[in-house]
Amino acid sequence: MSPGPLVRVAFPAPAPFGQGPPPGGVALLTIDRPEALNAVSFALLAELVAALRALDADRACHCAVLTGAGSRAFAAGADIRELAGQTPESLRAGDDFERWDELRAIGLPIIAAVRGYALGGGCELAMACDLIVAGEDAQFGQPEIKLGVIPGAGGTQRLTRAIGKARAMELILTGRSISAREAAAAGLVNLVVPAEETLDRALQLAGQIAAMPPIAVRSAKAMINRAAETSLTDGLADERQAFFDLFATADKAEGMAAFAEKRAPTWQGR
Ligand code: DAK
């Protein structure tokens, strides 16, 4: 067991990008079990969800970056030592799957900054984030089949949606992992960057998102995620409602006034 917190939370100064003032509002969460390649234990997952929920409720936080300590792994999976002792009954009785579901309720945009292994539950965690910045040394995969099981925290569903049935079948049935470049070509990750730049580039992207009006950002995230869940007809209706709702915000008034006045907007988040 690692001493101290398994997930560290910090508020780094955003890396400079483009024009304009530094936006702030970016939280950095670091999975801190490098000795176990950041394997996600039940306790770690509980800490991570609690930290994200707290940030989600913090009006000053506009975007989160999730990464793994060290350079070897984002997370090499759920903790196999813990899983080894589980039974169908113990898994059903535990609340760990509810914890994974709670990740879906986070409205704050989350960027995974991935170096090294993102395997099994680690790949599922990265896919539960909204964007993925991958270092050139990143490896993604769902090797659960080699342990006699299948992905159980969203892998069969999210990987299939991200890269399509044929590729998901191959990766999940063989347990093969793919490089950052292959993952990018398949549509799993947003950006492949030199390994040492991974975190900076993710923070930079987070800074760009954090500089946008926060209510609109959350609304956009919710609607994009809705697309994976519903019919086009229902999704378009939901989008229209969300669009209408944003016209009641001060940020909409400010954004449109700033455009007309040829100045930079100042967002209030309301
Ligand atoms: N769990 C626990 N320990 C792990 C680990 C893991 N997933 N991955 C690595 N480690 C530990 C190793 O045991 C080793 O510890 P010591 O022996 O030094 O004490 C240390 O990290 C360094 O690993 P290696 O010595 O193995 O390093 P190598 O470079 O030789 O190999 C590797 C790196 C990533 C290829 C290898 O460690 C590996 O194959 N790891 C396992 C990868 C894997 O199969 N991942 C999928 C696990 S199953 C659930 C939610 C999700 C899930 C399940 C339930 N619920 C909500 C209940 C998900 C399941 C999975 O992810």
CB neighbourhood size of 250 (10 A): 13
Band of residue 128 on the pLDDT scale cut at 50, 70, 90: very high
Query: How many angstroms is it from 96 CA to the middle of ligand 1?
Result: 18
List, for residues 139-175, the tens digit of each pLDDT value: 999 999 999 999 999 999 999 999 999 999 999 999 9
Residue 16 pLDDT grade (very low, low, confident, very high; cuts 50, 70, 90) = low
Region of poorest pLDDT, from 10-24, 30-44, 123-137, 154-168: 10-24
The helix (run of H) or strand (run of E) holding residue 117 is strand 117-119
Query: Per-residue confidence at 95, pLDDT binned at 50, 70, 90?
Result: confident
Nearest atom, ligand 1, residue 99 CA: 56
How far from the centroid of its chain's Cα atoms is residue 193's Cα?
17
Question: Is 120 near ligand 1, meaning CB less than 6 Å away?
Answer: yes
Mean pLDDT of 121-136: 98
Q: Is 172 in the pocket of ligand 1 (CB under 6 A)?
A: no
Average per-residue pLDDT in the chain?
A: 94
CA distance 71 to 138: 9
Distance CA 241, CA 245 (A): 6
Site to probe by mutation for ligand 1, drawn from 48, 80, 150 as the one with most ligand atoms within 8 Å of Cβ, is 80
Residue 14 has a pLDDT of 53
pLDDT cut 70: percent of the chain above it: 94
* 1, pLDDT greater than 50: no
CA distance 4 to 6: 6
Over residues 234-251, mean pLDDT = 98
| Cβ(152) – ligand 1 distance below 6 Å | yes
Closest by alpha carbon to 160, among 84, 62, 218, 228? 228
Report the pLDDT averaged over residues 227-235: 96
Q: What is the DSSP letter of 94?
A: S
In tens, the pLDDT along 45-80 reads 999 999 999 999 999 999 999 999 999 999 999 999
> With left for phi above 0 and alpha for psi between -120 and 50, is residue 195 left, alpha or beta?
alpha
Task: Give yes or no for residue 25 CB within 6 A of ligand 1.
Answer: no
Secondary-structure breakdown of the chain: helix, strand, coil percentages, each rounded to the nearest 5:
50, 15, 35
Separation between Cα atoms, residue 16 and residue 29, nearest integer Å? 20
pLDDT > 60? residue 20? no
Q: Which residues are catalytic?
A: 78, 121, 124, 144
Pocket flag, ligand 1, residue 68 (CB < 6 Å): no
Q: Is residue 267 very low, low, confident or very high in pLDDT (cuts 50, 70, 90)? A: very high
DSSP assignment of 29-83 equals EEE--GGGTT-B-HHHHHHHHHHHHHHHT-TT--EEEEEESSSSEEE-SB-HHHH
CA 257 to chain centre: 33
Q: How far is the CA of 122 from the centre of ligand 1 (A)?
A: 10
Question: What is the model's pLDDT at position 13?
Answer: 67
What is the arithmetic mean of pLDDT over 22-35? 89
With 0-12 / 13-18 / 19 or more C-beta atoms within 10 angstroms meaning exposed / middle / buried, residue 178 is: buried
CA of 148 from ligand 1 middle (Å) equals 14
Q: What distance in angstroms lies between residue 17's CA and the mean position of ligand 1's atoms?
A: 36
Q: Return the DSSP state at 16.
A: P
